[in-house]
Amino acid sequence: MIKNVKWIFVVLIISSLISFSFVGKDTPTEGLTIGDKAPTFTICGEKQLIDLKDLRGKYVLLSFWASYDAPSRVQNATLNHAIEQADNVEMVSVSFDEFKSIFNETIKKDRISTSNCFVELAGNSSDLFKTYRLNKGFKNFLLDKNGVIVAKDITPSQLSSYLN
């Protein structure tokens, strides 16, 4: 009897080790990094449709944020106002707010240019959120003219140093 219990115990340990080695294999553990090609996407706003591929040949600042996440909201507004002075970079701002009314009120309050500002109403469950491997705290990415990530989570002062 004790011999059987030992074998069962050994089998359980081995099977546990094997199963733990496969946990999380299908989910990336890290986000995109500098040097990666940015995944392309198409997003539709109230007045415009934008395809990231169409912006090749320009620097592009992708800003992912939500009104309920204060740091990302402040960062997005600050970068948006800094971009207004730059003519060699295009900003694409994507909010993951789940209510359009909240998004509209936020961009009005923060005086954000709406030309390339979009809302992804699926929020954290959207394909875009998953493709860019975002999480709470969100991110921004500066893409070069070929769509390669050259900077991540930059501030307005860092942005000007990349563009000059």
Give me the CATH number covering residue 137: 3.40.30.10
- Intervals of the chain under pLDDT 50: 21-29
Would you state the pLDDT for residue 46?
76
pTM of the predicted structure, to 2 decimals: 0.77
Q: Is 44 domain-assigned?
A: yes
Q: Is 36 domain-assigned?
A: yes
Would you state the pLDDT for residue 48?
82
- 122 residue type, one letter: A
Q: What's the number of domains the chain is made of?
A: 1
Q: Is 17 domain-assigned?
A: no
d(CA 80, CA 74): 10
Return the CA Rg of the chain. Answer: 21
Would you state the pLDDT for residue 27?
40
Would you state the pLDDT for residue 84?
84
Tell me the two tokens of residue 111: 């005086």
Would you state the pLDDT for residue 15?
59
Q: Is 105 domain-assigned?
A: yes
Would you state the pLDDT for residue 102?
94
Q: Is 128 domain-assigned?
A: yes
CA atoms within 13 A on the CB side of 149: 20
Bridging pattern class, strands 139-143 and 59-65? antiparallel
Q: By CB neighbour count within 10 A (0-12 exposed, 13-18 middle, 19+ buried), where does 156 fall?
A: middle
The pLDDT tens digits of the residues spanning 75-92 come to 999 999 888 878 889 999
For residue 140, the enclosing domain spans 27-163
Q: Is 149 domain-assigned?
A: yes
Question: How long is the chain?
Answer: 164
Q: Is 147 domain-assigned?
A: yes
Helix locations, 47-125, DSSP H = 70-83, 100-109
The pLDDT tens digits of the residues spanning 38-67 come to 999 999 887 788 899 999 999 999 999 999
Q: Is 84 domain-assigned?
A: yes
